[in-house]
Amino acid sequence: MKRIDKLVRSFVDEAMGEGFELFLSPETEALRDLSQINDSVVFFQAKGGGLFKMRNDYTTSVVEFYNKNPSDTLRVWYSGFVYRYDQTGQIQNTFQLGLEIVPYNSPQDSFVVLKVMLASILRSLTDQLLVEVGDSRVIERCIQHVPKKFRKKLLELVDRKDVSELEFFASLNNLDLKDVLKLVEASFTKRSVNQLKEFELDPSIEREIVELVEFLSKYPGVTVEIDFSLARTVEEYDGPTFIFFDLKDPALIVAGGRYRVNENTLGVGGTIFVEERTWSS
C-alpha cells in the first residue's frame, strides 16, 4: 500500500472517529476584487470575462463559509489540492489533509486536532517527529511598533532565522528590532519548556504552552521544542501554533494552530502537506 493511501485512510478514520465531517470546497472561486490577488495567487479569466482564482488555502474557505453561516458550529475535515506560485513563478500544487474547529472553545479543541494529526502520521508516514511549538502573540508583541509596509519582509527574514540579514534590515530601515533578534537567537539556544521563564511571558500564554507541550510529550517518537520565532502567516494566527518535521525523511509536513475567524470568534486547525514525492511513492 502506498504511503498516501495509508495516510488518507488513517486520517479519515481518526477524524470521523472524533466527530469531524467532510468539508467540500470548489477548486476555483470568483474573485470579488483585485485585492485578493497577490504574488502567490493563481488566477485566470473565464470566457465571460470574469476572474477566478484557484484554491490556495483550505482554512480560508472554511473561515469564509463560517462567516457567511455564523450560526453553524464547524468540526470539519478536508482533502484536496491547493495551487500557488512559487518564487520562480511556476505553479506548485500540493495535496492537503486538514481539520478545522470553529468556534474555538478550549485547549481541548487544539488537543483533538493534534491527536488526529499525530495518530495518522505516526501510523503511516514516520515514527520520528519533531514538533515545534510557538505562539503568534509573542512575536506580534515584538513587531507591533513596526510599520505594516515592513512586516511581510520582516517575517520572511525571521522565518529564515538569519540574524545578520535582520540586523542589516533594521539598520537600513531605521527599525528597532532588538526584541525580534532576541527571539530568533533564542530559537537556537532556548528550546526547552524549562526555559520559558526567560521569555517573561504573560502567565496565560505560558500556561497554554506548558499544557500543549505536556500533551504532545505523551506520544512515543515525538520530540517537542519551543520556538517563538515561528512567523508563518502570523497575522492570521492568534495564539499557540505548531509545526511538525519528519526527522526520518527531513521535511515540514504539518502546520497549524489557533487563528482569528472574525472580531468575536477564534478557530483552530491543522494541515498536513503532502508533496509529490509522497503521493507517488
pLDDT at 133: 94
C-alpha cell at 105: 472553545
The pLDDT score that the predictor gives to residue 276 is: 55
How far is CA 68 from its chain centroid?
A: 23
pLDDT computed for residue 153 by the predictor:
87
Burial class of residue 265 in the structure, from the number of CB atoms within 10 Å of its CB (0-12 exposed, 13-18 middle, 19+ buried) = middle
21 DSSP β-pair partners: 76
Q: Are 164 and 156 in contact (CB under 8 A)?
A: no
The DSSP bridge pattern shows strands 21-22 and 74-85 to be parallel
* Contacts of residue 31, Cβ cutoff 8 Å, sequence gap at least 6: 37, 43, 50, 51, 52, 53
What cell does 56 get?
490556495
E strands in the chain: 21-22, 28-30, 43-45, 51-54, 74-85, 91-102, 129-135, 222-226, 237-246, 251-262, 265-274
Q: What is the pTM of this model?
A: 0.89
Query: Residue 115: its pLDDT value, please?
Result: 97
The pLDDT tens digits along the chain (281 residues) read 577 888 999 999 999 999 999 999 888 888 877 766 777 788 888 888 888 888 888 998 899 899 998 877 899 999 999 988 887 888 888 889 999 999 999 999 999 999 999 999 999 888 999 999 999 999 888 888 999 899 888 988 888 888 999 999 999 999 999 999 998 998 888 889 888 888 888 999 999 999 999 999 999 999 999 999 876 555 588 999 999 999 988 888 999 999 999 989 999 999 998 865 555 55
pLDDT of residue 130: 95
Any idea which residue has 519551543 for its cell? Answer: 226
Torsion angle of C-alpha atoms 85, 89, 90, 95, degrees rounded to 10: -10
Non-local CB neighbours of 114 within 8 Å, separated by 6+ positions: 215, 216, 242, 270
Locate 24 and state its grid cell. 467540500
